Amino acid sequence: MGAAERATSFVANPPAPVFTANKLAILAKLRRNDFAALDAEFDGYQSAFERNPSAELNEEVAFDSFATDDDSVKGLVAEWIKARPGSFAAHLAMGSYRSWRGWHTRGTGASKSASEEQSTAMKKFFADSVGEIRTALKLRPQLSIAYALLIGEARGEGKPAQVIALQAEALEHVPASFVVREQVMVSFYPRWGGNHDLMSKLAELSQSVVKENPYLHWLLGFVDLDDGETFGIQGQYDKSIAALSDAIKKGGDFWRFYSSRGVAYLDSGAFDKALADFDRANQLSPQDPDLLTYRAAALVQLGKPKEALADLEVVKVFEKPDQLWNQLHAAAVKLAANAQH
């Protein structure tokens, strides 16, 4: 295989992302008030991205550490900002925390699915986050994760013109960012008021910089991802699985392709296949609470309570136990007890 063929293969089949960020370890540093270590860690993530755009996925996972409803995190991050006001990471940590709280309060359903009360609460969290996110951007203008948060919030508030304006601003600073385009792509979903023509055009245009960031190839599977998730919501699991398999064929190993297909397999009763997809998704985007909850459900169905309880313990760090968590936990504990008799 010649150099040109190797380059083409690399773009079409980018290697799996390398993750060094550990959300539990990051939160442990925060709880120890080890702010200098946190700044050094996040500076390393951002510097790696500025050298190589494909490294932003590791930084995205790192900032997702603060996507939690643990009230103590807000106070700890406030101490971090007070101690080190020039820390871009501290300001974006607070922006991430408040943005996630806004989404968690609203719920992630389609554009018209939130109640007026939920939308009002969401907007308050988003408003509180913007100042911190913009401060982080002043300190580090190539902070693609910050732009992705702002674009997501504009989508949540039903502001498509703002999404486009933020996209233009972001790509001026970070032209090869995947996470920026991912958020724009989601805003183009029909369920958010967009359409597949817009999605396809964005995916195709993004391939002009795919050599700088091979993960932009994933965008080619997003129309099928939307179809697959929509079929799944409608209970058409065979069609969902087929569409999501097409997403993997066209876009490659993006974690959400596997996660969403795993949900379709889970709902259809194909628990072994669901677990395989959830395992792959976790390799491609580790420690995601929603993904780990789904995987725990598959593990319970397959009679693997120890592994299910381990996943649920991680979920509990980020989200207060809800009805589903409690049901899965009770089922896993019962299975474990029965296995000992």
Determine the pLDDT at residue 108.
59
Determine the pLDDT at residue 119.
82
Q: Does residue 77 belong to any structural domain of this protein?
A: yes
- In the chain, the number of structural domains is 1
CA angle 151, 153, 158 (to 5 degrees): 95
Residue 108 three-state SS:
coil
Span 276-320, pLDDT tens digits: 999 999 999 999 999 999 999 999 999 999 999 999 999 999 999
CA gap 180, 9 in Å, rounded: 24
Say how many Å lie between the first and final Cα of the chain, rounded. Answer: 58
Q: Does residue 331 belong to any structural domain of this protein?
A: no
Please write down the long-range contacts of 81-84, taking CB distance under 8 Å and 24 or more positions apart: 83/33, 83/35, 84/35, 84/36, 84/39
**Residue in this structure with the two tokens 């008799």, named with its chain if needed:** 341
Determine the pLDDT at residue 110.
57
Q: Does residue 12 belong to any structural domain of this protein?
A: yes
- Tens digits of pLDDT across the chain (341 residues): 443 343 344 456 788 899 999 999 999 999 999 999 999 999 999 999 999 999 999 999 999 999 998 999 999 999 999 999 999 999 999 999 999 999 988 765 655 666 778 888 899 999 999 999 999 999 999 999 999 999 999 999 999 999 999 999 999 999 999 999 999 999 999 999 999 999 999 999 999 999 999 999 999 999 999 999 999 999 999 999 999 999 999 999 999 999 999 999 999 999 999 999 999 999 999 999 999 999 999 999 999 999 999 999 999 999 999 999 999 999 999 999 988 76
**Residue in this structure with the two tokens 């540093």, named with its chain if needed:** 29
Determine the pLDDT at residue 115.
77
Q: Does residue 324 belong to any structural domain of this protein?
A: no
Q: Does residue 195 belong to any structural domain of this protein?
A: yes
Which residue, among 287, 232, 289, 286, has the nearest Cα to 262 in the 3D structure? 232
Q: Does residue 227 belong to any structural domain of this protein?
A: no
Determine the pLDDT at residue 189.
97
**Residue in this structure with the two tokens 């233009």, named with its chain if needed:** 168
Give the domain CATH number at 135: 1.25.40
Residue 168 three-state SS:
helix
Quote the domain boundaries for residue 111: 1-202
Q: Does residue 289 belong to any structural domain of this protein?
A: no
Phi-psi region of 235 (alpha: psi -120 to 50; beta: other; left: phi over 0): left
Q: Does residue 223 belong to any structural domain of this protein?
A: no
Burial of residue 165 (CB within 10 Å: 0-12, 13-18, 19+) is middle
Gyration radius of the chain over CA positions: 20
Which residue, among 252, 170, 243, has the nearest Cα to 217 in the 3D structure? 252
Please write down the long-range contacts of 113-122, taking CB distance under 8 Å and 24 or more positions apart: 122/156, 122/157
Determine the pLDDT at residue 117.
80
CA gap 205, 200 in Å, rounded: 9
φ, ψ (nearest 5 deg) of residue 306: -60, -45
Determine the pLDDT at residue 8.
41
CA gap 300, 298 in Å, rounded: 5
Look up residue 279 and give its two tokens: 């395992």
φ, ψ (nearest 5 deg) of residue 122: -60, -50
Look up residue 221 and give its two tokens: 């599977």
The predicted model scores a pTM of: 0.92
